[in-house]
Structure 1
Amino acid sequence: MFSLVLMRSQPYRLCSLGKMLPPPKRTPCLAGFIYTAGRWSNKENSRTVEKLCTFSVDIRKIRRLKGWVLLEDDTYVEEIVHILQELGADDTAIGSILERCPEAIVCSPAAVNTQKELWQLVCKNEELVKLIKQFPDSFFNVKDQENQKLNVQFFRELGLRNVVISRFLTTVPSIFHNPVENNKQTIKILQESYLNLGGSEANMKVWLLKLLSQNPFMLLDSSASIKETLEFLQEQGFTNSEILQLLSKLKGFLFQLCPRSIHNSISFSKSVFKCTDHDLKQLVLKCPALLYYPVPVLEERIQGLLKEGSSVAQIREMPMVLELTPQIVQYRIRKLNSLGFRIKDGHLANLNGTKKEFEANFGKIQAKKGRPIFNPVAPLKADE
């Protein structure tokens, strides 16, 4: 997960004889000084600027987004460029990488080489260049390299494919900065939970690897929160097999919910659909989104369907439509309306499914609408 650093400059104030002096005029973008935090900062490193220009890097873009990099005394432009060139990156790719992640030039070349060797364990150079170009911040995050290495080794021993581990490195780099023992403990809890819920030893590895591939963010949760969520679901009357079913359908995102949020969603759904605990369980098993989405989201989606002419009874019969955003629902209803379909007279199943499934179903309805009511080739029957 990537963090956004929001920098706010403080107002410039210089008091003299009780008067406020205006801030200095803005300097041209090529000037060597930058006005920040109410004072003149250090001069830009002209050597850094010149070398970046040599590689056709847009200096103005760096000044606008991360100008502090240009103020650093120690930078390694040529060294970082050389490492990228060794991997096979061309000038265009290098320029794009340094513009998007200029802090790369303040990383130690030794640390970047270590990072390169680490990532090469799970992907080839050609693929590595593509990943660095797409996720430069993840690659040049060179802290905790010993943790990163141990975690890569652990995930490989666990049986995760290299392509999955490389995806983790780019999209969820924070799990590699966890102490490896933390990740091992979380995996152990997941394995024990699976067996305690009735899963078989033979299927456990496949289940675990699929769960991690779908949702690596689980590794950011504490083992205590995982246990708490499972115990809460059992208290709500879900059987072990039903909980396993929910975990598979929600791809492990269930662990990222707190019991209080789940309880609120359950209470809201029970009130809206006016059903018993048993009936609600069946609705949740058909549509786990009733557990996952917070009350405001569920309320918005139900209200959106009602405004389009649907009824609570229709939603209860086909709760999976609540997995769709109001915008998607409106778009699909307009398309169906163009064929004469009216939501209040029909079944919500026509709205359901992925984009591909909906378009395929819409095509069938459209073809059926355009079909003649009689065969124009066959002769008409007449009374003799």
Structure 2
Amino acid sequence: MLRLIATSLCLRCQHVTALPLKVRPCTTLSSVENQQTVDALYDLSVDIQKVRQLKGWVLHQSPAYTKEVAALLKDMGAPGPIIARILAIHPEAVLCNPEHMQTQRELWMSVCPSQKELVGIIEKFPASFFTSSSHHDNQRNNIAYFQSLNVNKRIVTKLMASAPQSFSRPVEQNQMMVHTLQGAYQELGGEEANMKIWLQKLLSQNPFVLLKPPEVLRQNLMFLKDRGFSTAQLLRLLSKLRGFVTELSPDSMRRTLTFSQDTIGCSEAELRDIILKCPALLYYPESTLAERFKGLLSAGSSMSQITETPTVLELTTQIVNYRIQRLRARGYDIRTGSLDVLNGTKKDFEMSFGKLQLRRERPLFNPVAPLKVDD
């Protein structure tokens, strides 16, 4: 039986969904717009109508620091159009105290390689940067913790940007989840020398794994073990770099496994092999899988082809149909060929399609070319 973590698990604050910017106690809300804010945004070429439509309440706040925010971004190297775009999608930034913004800048620059990259992050994740000053201590402690684990700074930056909730909460909660992940990895036979790299890849692929209750990981691993997955197989699943065992529940996996086995008509051992080839199958509800099985079978593929290349089930029916039509136009028959050519991203498919096209267009014999014969 897996010995993960025997300590009691604190599940409070695990399901944080947002980091709303808290309006300072001294901020006042007026029935009319703050004309200074409006004028400053106009001067910066910000789409005021978009702001009014989506977050008009910001324009009624006082005081606001529009010019100071713009100056900070400009000092970091952000050009005018990017500043305007940031303030249009996240106008709450103008409510941040300049001193607090400077603190944020220093915190982020402790892990961010350059100010240019930080500007790019702010453009994509403005809410992660312009957040409440009450989170600064937690951010600082969490940065120090992940640095103590020798986690790459770029990964720490990615965590702060895409999953800011994990850095706004007390460091003890992240420590608990990391210890649970490390414990599971070791219990399943993972090598100590590889654990740092494994953890970094896991956090990089799924930053939100830190926000899940540690108990979920234990329950899901125990469920899969009860379904016959060996320790080595569980380690393979845990190392698929998506942290999927924290995104699911025993009930959802049970329904998906039962549906898949009934549809394919395979044994439990065969089903485990299919899951190991395509762990993403555990994600999909029965309705989604039913549609994708039906689409592939209707297009002429067989169930044996699908089970040989189960990753094709990760593609939507629309994408599969489009790719099959293109292949048919080139004379490729999926009924007799491999489904591997359907797999992958759009770029992967185009590369496979191009190679297929070259093979079909290259002549096997050129009757015009002179024959080489021995004298």
Does the pair score TM above 0.5? Answer: yes
Structure 1 position 329 matched with structure 2 position 334? no
Partner of 1:311: 302
The 8 Å contact of residues 159 and 209 in structure 1, kept in 2 or not, is answered as: no
Structure 1 position 74 matched with structure 2 position 46? no
- Looking at structure 1, the residues matched to 84 and 260 of structure 2 have their Cα atoms a distance apart, in angstroms, of 52
Structure 1 position 92 matched with structure 2 position 50? no
Identity of aligned residues (%): 47
Alignment of 1:1-384 (within 5 A): 3=18, 42-123=31-112, 124-142=114-132, 143-249=134-240, 251-377=242-368
The 8 Å contact of residues 86 and 126 in structure 2, kept in 1 or not, is answered as: yes
Going from structure 1 to structure 2, the CA distance change for 1:2 and 1:140 (only over 3 Å counts) comes to farther
- Looking at structure 1, the residues matched to 42 and 346 of structure 2 have their Cα atoms a distance apart, in angstroms, of 46
The 8 Å contact of residues 292 and 317 in structure 2, kept in 1 or not, is answered as: yes
- Looking at structure 1, the residues matched to 86 and 77 of structure 2 have their Cα atoms a distance apart, in angstroms, of 13
Larger Rg: 1
Q: Count residues with an aligned counterpart.
A: 346
Question: Comparing 314-323 with 49-58, which one deviates more in the overlay?
Answer: 49-58
The 8 Å contact of residues 314 and 347 in structure 1, kept in 2 or not, is answered as: yes
The alpha carbon displacement at 1:238 in A equals: 0.4
CA deviation map 1:103-134 (0-9, x unaligned): 11112222212111111111222222222223
In structure 2, the gaps of 5 or more residues are 1-15, 21-29
Alignment RMSD (CA, Å) = 2.3
The 8 Å contact of residues 280 and 314 in structure 2, kept in 1 or not, is answered as: yes
CA deviation map 1:168-195 (0-9, x unaligned): 2221111112211000010001111111
Going from structure 1 to structure 2, the CA distance change for 1:4 and 1:310 (only over 3 Å counts) comes to farther
The 8 Å contact of residues 155 and 203 in structure 2, kept in 1 or not, is answered as: no
TM-score normalised by length of structure 2? 0.86
The 8 Å contact of residues 155 and 200 in structure 2, kept in 1 or not, is answered as: no
- Looking at structure 2, the residues matched to 309 and 208 of structure 1 have their Cα atoms a distance apart, in angstroms, of 42
The alpha carbon displacement at 1:332 in A equals: 1.4
In structure 1, the gaps of 5 or more residues are 6-40
* Structure 2 residue identity aligned to 1:95: A
CA deviation map 1:212-265 (0-9, x unaligned): 111111101111111111111111110111011112225212221111111111
Question: Comparing 371-380 with 149-158, which one deviates more in the overlay?
Answer: 371-380
- Looking at structure 1, the residues matched to 330 and 72 of structure 2 have their Cα atoms a distance apart, in angstroms, of 59
Partner of 2:12: none
The 8 Å contact of residues 254 and 292 in structure 1, kept in 2 or not, is answered as: no
CA deviation map 1:316-348 (0-9, x unaligned): 232221122212211211111012122223332
* Structure 2 residue identity aligned to 1:132: I
* Structure 2 residue identity aligned to 1:42: S
Question: Comparing 354-363 with 60-69, which one deviates more in the overlay?
Answer: 354-363
The 8 Å contact of residues 69 and 94 in structure 2, kept in 1 or not, is answered as: yes
Going from structure 1 to structure 2, the CA distance change for 1:170 and 1:226 (only over 3 Å counts) comes to same
* Structure 1 residue identity aligned to 2:193: A
Secondary structure at 1:342's aligned position in 2? coil
Higher RCO (CA-CA < 8 Å; seq separation 6+): 2
The alpha carbon displacement at 1:379 in A equals: 6.5
The alpha carbon displacement at 1:4 in A equals: 11
The alpha carbon displacement at 1:358 in A equals: 2.8
Partner of 1:15: none
CA deviation map 1:340-368 (0-9, x unaligned): 12222333233233434333332232222
Question: Comparing 340-349 with 232-241, which one deviates more in the overlay?
Answer: 340-349
The 8 Å contact of residues 206 and 241 in structure 2, kept in 1 or not, is answered as: no
- Looking at structure 2, the residues matched to 216 and 77 of structure 1 have their Cα atoms a distance apart, in angstroms, of 31
TM-score normalised by length of structure 1? 0.84
Going from structure 1 to structure 2, the CA distance change for 1:350 and 1:86 (only over 3 Å counts) comes to closer
Secondary structure at 1:345's aligned position in 2? coil
Going from structure 1 to structure 2, the CA distance change for 1:93 and 1:309 (only over 3 Å counts) comes to same
The alpha carbon displacement at 1:68 in A equals: 0.6
The 8 Å contact of residues 277 and 311 in structure 2, kept in 1 or not, is answered as: yes
